């Protein structure tokens, strides 16, 4: 489970994130974040929470971790494990947002297994890379992560993303629903989780449930998330189109002479 944070700890993490956001258009924002997380001795869970969000914001600002960091920041151990982990989380998260599964896999194959044992979020990103390529061996990675980091929302979202992307994974739709169900409140207050749920329901032919999920996701989505809003609208269109096509097939003329 994700450990509960006290108000002072929450404030310290917010301050670390703020330092990075203030410099998000410059080249030093990853260093600012890494040093702030080192100062408070952030756990891997805390690093995942902060880095996944900051990586997205930097990408939106067109100054992503892929611009200001290098692959060596992932593969080469630095003198401080918290700083190395921060760079790893930032770089790999950005590759994930860009759907660059092969790049993640190549980098993670150069990271010692002992590092992954201490950092389930990085292993989840490795699992994402395999799952996103519809590789069934990614399922073993997924199950290892679920044992190592049960109930951690950011880690679950990485796995959800990989299964969602892995179109040809066996049992993909039930897996999506299972992972969504592991999130707090079953993902019902999370627009991205509801988006994944809607996709799974559509695949299973549960169109009313899929439509309910995606409409709720649209209601919950924060203002200004234009790219995500477009994804949700696209999913809604897929649901209604699949539903209409199914009705046409069922109600069509008898093809037998």
Q: Does position 254 have pLDDT exceeding 80, yes or no?
A: no
pLDDT of residue 251: 81
Of the residues 170, 193, 221, which one is the last residue of a structural domain?
Answer: 170
Q: Does position 255 have pLDDT exceeding 80, yes or no?
A: no
Residue 4 in domain: no
Residue 153 in domain: yes
Cα–Cα distance for residue pair 146/113, rounded to 1 Å? 17
Cα–Cα–Cα angle for 244, 189, 184, nearest 5°? 120
Q: Does position 105 have pLDDT exceeding 60, yes or no?
A: yes
53 and 160 part of one domain:
yes
Do residues 50 and 17 lie in contact, with contact meaning Cβ atoms separated by under 8 Å?
A: yes
Please write the tens of the pLDDT for every residue from 15-38.
999 999 999 999 999 999 999 999
pLDDT of residue 138: 97
pLDDT of residue 3: 54
Residue 23 in domain: no
Q: What is the mean pLDDT of residues 128-144?
A: 97
What is the share, in percent, of the chain residues with pLDDT greater than 90?
92
pLDDT of residue 148: 96
Q: What is the mean pLDDT of residues 186-204?
A: 98
Range of the domain at 211: 185-249
The encoded tokens of residue 139 equal 């399922």
Please write the tens of the pLDDT for every residue from 50-88.
999 999 999 999 999 999 999 999 999 988 999 999 999
DSSP 176-221: HHHHHHHSGGGGTT-HHHHHHHHHHHHHTT-HHHHHHHHHHHHHHS
61 and 162 part of one domain:
yes
Q: Does position 253 have pLDDT exceeding 70, yes or no?
A: no
139 and 202 part of one domain:
no
- Split into its structural domains, the chain has a count of 2
Handedness of CA 36, 104, 225, 142 (dihedral sign): negative
220 and 111 part of one domain:
no
- The pTM assigned to this predicted structure is 0.93
What is the share, in percent, of the chain residues with pLDDT greater than 70?
96
């Amino acid at each position: 489970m994700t450990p509960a944070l006290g108000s002072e700890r929450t404030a310290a993490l917010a301050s670390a994130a703020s330092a990075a956001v203030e410099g998000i258009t410059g080249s030093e924002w990853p260093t600012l974040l890494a040093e702030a997380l080192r100062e408070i001795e952030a756990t891997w869970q805390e690093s995942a929470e902060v880095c996944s969000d900051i990586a997205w914001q930097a990408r939106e600002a067109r100054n992503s971790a892929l611009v200001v960091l290098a692959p060596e920041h992932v593969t080469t151990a630095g003198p401080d494990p918290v700083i190395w982990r921060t760079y790893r989380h930032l770089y790999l998260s950005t590759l994930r947002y860009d759907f660059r599964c092969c790049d993640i896999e190549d980098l993670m194959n150069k990271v010692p297994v002992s590092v992954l044992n201490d950092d389930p979020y990085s292993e989840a990103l490795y699992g994402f890379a395999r799952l996103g390529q519809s590789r069934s061996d990614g399922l073993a990675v997924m199950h290892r992560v679920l044992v190592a980091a049960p109930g951690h929302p950011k880690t679950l979202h990485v796995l959800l993303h990989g299964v969602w992307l892995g179109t040809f994974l066996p049992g993909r739709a039930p897996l999506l629903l299972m992972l969504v169900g592991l999130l707090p409140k079953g993902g019902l207050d999370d627009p991205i989780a509801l988006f994944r749920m809607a996709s799974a329901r559509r695949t299973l032919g549960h169109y009313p449930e899929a439509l309910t999920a995606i409409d709720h996701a649209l209601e919950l989505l924060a203002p200004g998330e234009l790219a995500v809003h477009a994804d949700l609208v696209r999913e809604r269109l897929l649901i209604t189109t699949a539903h209409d096509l199914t009705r046409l097939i069922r109600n069509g003329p008898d093809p037998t002479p």
